[in-house]
Amino acid sequence: MVSRVIPVDSFDLVIFGGTGDLARRKILPGLFRRFCAGQMPPEAQIVGAARTEMDDAGFRDMVRAAIDEFGGGAEDPGQLDSFLERVGYVAVDAKGDGGWKALKDRLRDDCVRAFYFSVGPALFGDLAERLRAFGLATETSRIVVEKPFGHDLESARALNRELAQYFDETQIYRIDHYLGKETVQNLMAVRFGNVLFEPLWNAQFVDHIQITVAETVGVGGRGGYYDDSGAMRDMVQNHLMQLLCLIAMEPPAQFEPDSVRDEKLKVIRALDPVEPHHIVRGQYGADEKQPGYRAHVENERSRTESFVALKAHVSNWRWAGTPFYLRTGKMLRARTSEIAVVFKDAPHSIFGAEAGRHNNVLAIRLQPNEGMTLDVTIKEPGPGGMRLVDVPLDMTFADALGPDGANVPDAYERLVMDVIRGNQTLFMRGDEVEAAWAWTDPMIDGWEARGDVPKPYDPGSSGPEDALMLLHRDGRRWRDIKA
């Protein structure tokens, strides 16, 4: 199956923080892959903008090195040279006046204009203000804002208010790169493009839902930032929340930005407050290879969680009584992200007790090997009577779609192209972000007020024992964390 590439309109894209880690690892290599795929018009222009003094040639060398390291390189070396001709650089100070006039002079009037804020959140307001003050922002310009979007409800509201002084909501693209993943969009296609699932997608037929985002790495070089936020702020408030919304939302009337985002918002607003005994926080300890979390963040008294598991309820007609179990953590057994919809047992087994209990599970894998499996109960082959086994119907995209499907675009590639197209469906709206904070803030305030200390867990494990108990108490078990 060959995927169709529809070229976007001509654009000027300015990447503030163009010399930073995110730009080098994701944004620039992603743009290069879109260029190779023929999606970028030849006259499109990418301008790196950051504090470092550098000329176009210096930036192009940096971009070439980034693409070699993170972009898989070019099949045809000429392609990289042609791409680099589209790339330039202007030194700009987000907090000062330097460079803004030169940047303005670089931009064209007759094309889409987008500004990617790939800088720390403290600079978002400064950039927005200066884009207006120096006349770079036009009525159709877009800004792309990276995470974290606020630290709590109050700071997110303040940031929304600040950006709203300079840009209309239709011009603001708040990135959650989970929404750019192929499988996440496929989740909507599976739900709303087939008649098979939607009739069963409710409390009557679904026993519970599990959402797991597990990492094998620790906090790495982000210790200071991470210790200030923790797993709830860094992962649950945004990524896991977005996945929960797409699983739980009602069918939107159209696949259009506000239709989809209205439905997601309703889910967040229908979430019950989470009881403290339905939350488990963990912090990884040391092993023979490396020190533990507290040493990584250089804070021997840290009470920040590197793992969190919780049981949530969406109180609406569709989901009343169906638990949503969420967990995410660092230094776990395997790197995997998965949503599992666990259906109820058949109401009556005609095969007798020895056939065992069986239920269908639809597992949606975000990584590794993006794809889906549906566990179906069949007869165990052979002459041994009617014994039942669960067998996965496997739809790994790389297998199902052939060599082209294996080349699934990275989330950032797709999202940047959506910005140019002016499609906000896969971006978070301001009220959505605020509603998500309004749900997570009381949990965080609660454990801070109680002085809760996260439970220790071993690196390479599935998290603290208490997280296993969270499901065990309900007569359920987590799916294995495996690659």
Annotated binding site, which residues? 17-24, 51, 147, 177, 181, 215, 234, 330
Binding residue positions for NADP(+): 17-24, 51, 147
CA distance 310 to 34: 38
- Taking residue 122's Cβ as centre, other Cβ atoms within 10 Å add up to 9
Smaller CB distance to ligand NAD: residue 91 or 312?
91
Nearer to ligand NAD, 92 or 211 (CB): 92
- Closest separation between CB of residue 166 and ligand NAD, Å? 17
Binding-site residue numbers for substrate are 177, 181, 215, 234, 330
What is the smallest separation between the CB atom of 93 and ligand NAD, expressed in angstroms? Answer: 5
Provide the edge-to-edge strand list for the sheet that holds 45-50: 87-91, 45-50, 11-16, 112-117, 142-145, 172-174
Torsion of CA 160, 162, 163, 166, to 10 degrees: 150
Task: For residue 239, indicate whether it is catalytic.
Answer: yes
Residue 27 beta carbon to ligand NAD: minimum distance, rounded to whole angstroms: 9
What's the CA gap between 442 and 444, in Å, rounded? 5
Q: How far is the CB of 28 from ligand NAD (least distance, A)?
A: 11
CB of 49 or CB of 340, closer to ligand NAD:
49
Q: Distance (Å, rounded) from C-alpha 232 to C-alpha 234?
A: 6
Half-sphere exposure for 96 (CA within 13 Å, toward CB): 7
Kindly tell me which of 25 and 476 has the beta carbon lying closer to ligand NAD. Answer: 25
Cα R_g (the chain), whole angstroms: 24
Closest-approach residue to ligand NAD (CB): 20
Task: Tell me how far apart the alpha carbons of residues 278 and 470 are, in angstroms, rounded to a whole number.
Answer: 7
Catalytic residue among 151, 208, 239, 358, which?
A: 239
- Return the structure tokens found at 377: 């109960």
Residues interacting with ligand NAD, by CB under 6 A?
16-23, 50-52, 92-95, 118-121, 123, 146-148
User: How far is the C-alpha of 243 from the C-alpha of 416, rounded, in Å?
Assistant: 20
Residue with tokens 């889409």: 112
CB distance 472 to 327 below 8 Å: no
Return the number of the residue (111 or 123) whose C-beta is nearest ligand NAD. Answer: 123
Nearer to ligand NAD by Cβ, of 3 and 52: the residue is 52
Residue (of 13, 191, 215) closest to 108 by Cα position: 13
Q: Where are the beta strands (DSSP E) in 34-190?
A: 45-50, 87-91, 112-117, 142-145, 172-174
Catalytic residues: 239
